[in-house]
Chain A
């Protein structure tokens, strides 16, 4: 599990994929399967904020789905904390925020968090404290007893973040956490990621917001069409480019078209 960083510090790899390949069967007769991931090798170290970038359909969500056991890899392996992702126990120390947040609308935020804390086998007293803490963090204390169906989109996103943090996870997996949020909501999510980073948590998140990635990430990986194109620190990836966005466009092979 150990590795060595650029500064010579020993790093613990807590998320690893090796030659990960995912194919989806095509339902149409005699059609070749769609390849979503082509032998992806990734390593994420403890305590870092890792940005996972790529254009739409590049395989970011598929990678996250494999890491969470939603999709079985066709070949290769993936592990969290050294445990195969197919084992439910691998998910004991992670928090996950999906791209679209839909939660049981017939529950209140407090009931939802209590339910999830039971899944993590938190003792009731500790669960109560965690619920108070995460609701305070996402600023939903005053709405804790309201049904989720009455929440705005931003509030629902914050409930999502609260449920991802309920078990005080060591690794947080966020799938486009600021998608569809207003600037204020984005800023709030960014603040929370920064806060988690300061607490020494590992954050793995996919995003299209390159400015945000540039601000909060220690390392970045860029994939395109299921293949890893670049991996390294934000500075390394940017290299000679003026911004991460320009570097990203260059890496994914974007050719600007001249106006007619």
Chain B
């Protein structure tokens, strides 16, 4: 575990010394503040739209940060040849993969804390209340979903040659899961066999990231809290998928020549 934490520490250091997060954070803040400062159509319920758009921007920004960061973690080590002195030490390739994942996931957690803190402040300035537990549930499930995305991008970085192609494929896959994942079962019913079985297999095989994505509604519409057992189950579900992708990444990386 010591080696995993050591690698994770370096990943966190790299991410906070780079500019990506700061640029996206400032961009999100500026867009949200501009929107919050105007009241289109004099609608008193405008805060709901602002909250919805702000949360959508937070999701997009966090996905951009998670995918672009994770997609280049291993390729950058290979290109810059920092992988050679690193693997010449008593560090297994599995420890390297898990360390990279942990570092990126924790860094994304810190990013989410900043985004949700800003969001909370913005919403409280208009609504004068702060439903902390709702924010916590949404942010926590958001973070576990990012774990799946990071693990998927890490696996992709070992399969695809270029980080840019890997990042693009990951974006498309994640966006597709979020937008159409939930409709796949009803889509399957409208098709004859064997297409139905194939679509159902896809439906059950993909990680359903739309569940944490829908947690936005909890905050936007001030709905009551979700049962903690469901939050726990969804977190376990996400982490199980992340673990599957990480094990697959370790298997791919195990015998890969790194010279």
Chain A residues proximal to chain B, CB less than 8 Å: 24, 61-62, 65, 68-72, 88-89, 91-92, 94, 96-98, 100-107, 111, 115-116, 118-121, 160, 163-164, 167, 173
Contact = CB atoms under 8 A, between A and B. Distances in A.
Interface string B85-118: 1111111100000000000000000000000000
B58 to A, nearest CB: 26
26 contacts: A65-B259, A68-B88, A70-B84, A70-B87, A70-B258, A71-B257, A88-B90, A88-B92, A94-B88, A103-B82, A104-B10, A104-B14, A104-B82, A106-B14, A106-B18, A107-B10, A115-B6, A115-B9, A116-B89, A119-B3, A119-B6, A119-B89, A120-B90, A121-B2, A160-B85, A163-B85
B80 interface: yes
A118 B6 contact: yes
A119 B90 contact: yes
Interface of B: 2-3, 5-6, 9-10, 13-14, 17-18, 80-82, 84-92, 255, 257-259
Contacts of B90: 88-89, 91-92, 119-120
Given A106-B13, A111-B13, A91 B259 contact: no
* Residue with the greatest number of chain A CB neighbours at <10 A, chosen from B3, B18, B80, B257: B257
A69 B3 CA distance: 18
A167 B13 CA distance: 23
Contact of A91 (B14, B18, B88): B88
Contacts of B6: 115, 118-119
Contact of A72 (B14, B18, B87, B255): B255
B10 A115 contact: yes
B81 A100 contact: yes
Contacts of A120: 89-90
Nearest to A164: B85
Contacts of A103: 82, 85
Contacts of B88: 68-70, 91, 94, 96, 98, 173
Contacts of B86: 119
A26 B68 CA distance: 31
Given A72-B255, A98-B85, 20 more contacts: A24-B257, A65-B257, A68-B87, A69-B88, A70-B84, A70-B259, A88-B90, A88-B92, A91-B90, A97-B85, A102-B81, A102-B82, A104-B14, A106-B13, A106-B18, A107-B10, A115-B9, A118-B3, A118-B9, A173-B88
Nearest to A163: B85
A42 B92 CA distance: 26
Given A89-B90, A104-B14, A115-B6, A62 B259 contact: yes
Contacts of B257: 24, 65, 70-72
Given A96-B85, A104-B10, A118 B2 contact: yes
A106 to B, nearest CB: 5
B17 A106 contact: yes
* Residue with the greatest number of chain A CB neighbours at <10 A, chosen from B17, B87, B89, B258: B89
Nearest to B76: A104
Nearest to A68: B88
